[in-house]
Structure 1
């Protein structure tokens, strides 16, 4: 029992001691926490004071800067106000001076009007007095004076006009001569392209019979396959081919030459040789077109255009190969355009295709010009090329400067010596028409076409035609020639007015 009581007492004493120890420890920890919290509060307070001080300093600085800026703006504003005030004063002074000048000008205008009215009145009085003394109305006097002046100075005026025309013509001819000489010097052909022939030489007369065949079967087969008429007559050692289509005629020529060389002439062999000739012609057309574009330096033409150009190798005009003529025109056009600073590429292309319609004009109805335009439009050739080529026969007005170049190059190529042949009948008709145009005009006494139709000399009656009328007559004749005749190159019209005074000494 005693031990139990002692144990209880010990336990109570231990519990009390533990309680006090724990309480002391807790109080110590609380004191430490409070001290830490107080330290943090003190630190925060110090930082807050510091931040407030920095903020106050920045606020003061900003306020000082703002006050300084306000002062500067006030100073600048004051200066601007002073400047505007000075400008207003200056403008007021100028306005005042302008008003004074305007008033003076108004006064002067009134004075001038007054003087003008006085002069007009004086002028009318003088004219009235002059009419009374001359006994001639004013309009008649004016016309009389103009007639006298015209009669007096007509010759001087005519001389001056002729001098100006001569000087201008000399300058133009000199520049044109230099240009043409330069171009021709840079490009020249030794000969014109081959002239197409429709005659084939045969080794002997026996071949004619073999070509005709039994009951004419060979010649009928040949004509049916080629579309070309064979003319076998008394001409020794020759057979003539007749066809309006130059390509078909060339196919027939090649086939017949091969048949004559081979000696075996029969329908099956004829058909075989015609097919071979067609293949050869297609290849030659292709090669001729490619050679043409290669020679002039054009690389962007479609194959269809190149094929049509190749067909021109078998087309002639006045004995001149149309393809060779087109190549000449292309090269000459390019050179002239380069000399004049124009588009040489457009001029060159237009020159090469300017006669492309002649490749199909024997197959399709229409002029070669219209057909050529349609062909170029179909294959989407540059519109400027069409504009440059379509006026070389004056069918269309000139649309771009390169058209003049193509026209000039076409004329140079066609009219140079040896370029073209002309039948005697056409030549004589052209000369006759030239003289007829001149002789139909009033005052013309005689007219002669000379220099192969390149010059027309017209002699007029001096009593009916004056010097001024002679110049006008020459112009009228040249205009009629341009409108009524077709000719290569140009024709010079010379009007001669000659006065002769004859007297005999007795």
Structure 2
């Protein structure tokens, strides 16, 4: 009996312990599940919030881009309208001038017809006078012709002289007006902006600390750069800038490019300076060659000698009375071509 009771007690205790353990495990698992659910809900809420914020930011950015695009479109459309208006005005002026020239041509034709009618009328008068003289004087036809011819010659000579003087004055006036019109049209079609002349170039610096590096120990860097380029470098109190001074614009351009490359590279010493100056010189020579070739194509005179093309390229860096010499040369070539075209001369030779 005691053994049975012990066994029953053991079985009951085991069952009770298992039930308690199950309840405890269920409580722990439940808490973990609830914690996991809370964490998932928090992550979902955060993700939804970030999603909404991202959508709002994207919409704001899209609206901003759309606004900028619409603004640019309006500006370009306005500029296009202004440009079309200028072209329309020029076309209208050219049409008016063409109408005026046509009217002048009609006037000249009318005057030629008037002169021809006058000549025919004189011939009729001459014939009538011959007939009248023959009836009145009973002289021979040959004698009458001589008298009539002399009278008519005197009258016609005076009329012709007067008419020639009038035509000469009129033609001179029309020629002057036509010449002024040709020059005016050519100048309008060749109108360009004027570029200011300068003997200095300014290179911006990232900081004033760069001035000391450009000068170098005991000024060796600045001397090396000046000797290599043939210009003067002015480093003064101007904040974050260095001035390149020189009367040769090609040398100033070489110095400017070399200086910008040195600042960007950061390694500033005499050997590096010589290397950068050589690179800048090659770039400028390439630019000069390209500008010369572009000028010949723009003017329409290809096939020039290489030396002449290089000389034209050098004019890109030259200025005279505030105007770039290369642009001025191109304008003069266009102007000469237009005048030659209007006068019926050889356009290529004029350019």
Q: TM-score, normalised by structure 1?
A: 0.34
Structure scoring higher RCO (CA < 8 A, sep ≥ 6) equals 2
- Give me the TM-score of the superposition, normalised by structure 2: 0.49
